[in-house]
Amino acid sequence: MAEQIMAMMVFRIIGETIGFMSTTKFYGILEVGKNCFYRLLARSEMDWRILLLSMARRFQSIVRKENAEETDAPKCYIIDDTTLAKTGFRFEGLSRVFDHVLGKCVLGYKLLILAFFDGSDRISPPNPT
């Protein structure tokens, strides 16, 4: 399971989906098929919030250890409310939400993100999706 989680992180870093990775040359590198990844994502007993929060905390401790010197760069929290517009009606939880950028209601979801910026790195705790 750890190998699959690491592979999913690599997929995310390089900006590809599980389906794309299973149909291209990366399929030969992995010893499992795409269904194995989808089953892992669908596991109800897997606490993804805790996993992502632990990874963010670990990353922050490594960065602090490596960059021992304090900088004068501003430290701040970043709050972003993004509208995820969707087309179609067969999405769970889909509703009309107000998009303040467009100034009108659109069909989709609202995603609220809180991140911490320490002057050089942005760390986002996990958000429910």
Q: What is the pLDDT of residue 116?
A: 78
> What does 58-117 look like in DSSP terms, one character per residue?
HHHHHHHHH--S---S--EEEEEEEEEE--SS-STT-EEEEETTTTEEEEEEEEEEEEEE
How many angstroms separate the CA atoms of 85 and 31, rounded? 36
Q: What is the pLDDT of residue 98?
A: 92
Give how far Cα 114 sits from Cα of 55, 66, 117, Å.
16, 24, 10
Q: Please answer whether residues 32 and 4 qualify as being in contact, where contact means their C-beta atoms are separated by less than 8 angstroms.
A: yes
* pLDDT, tens digit (0-9, with 9 covering 90-100), for 38-90: 888 788 787 877 777 777 777 777 777 766 566 677 888 888 888 888 887 77
pTM as predicted: 0.45
Q: What is the pLDDT of residue 104?
A: 94
Confidence check: pLDDT of 37 > 90: no
How many angstroms separate the CA atoms of 125 and 129, rounded? 12
How many angstroms separate the CA atoms of 75 and 63, rounded? 14
Q: What is the pLDDT of residue 106?
A: 92
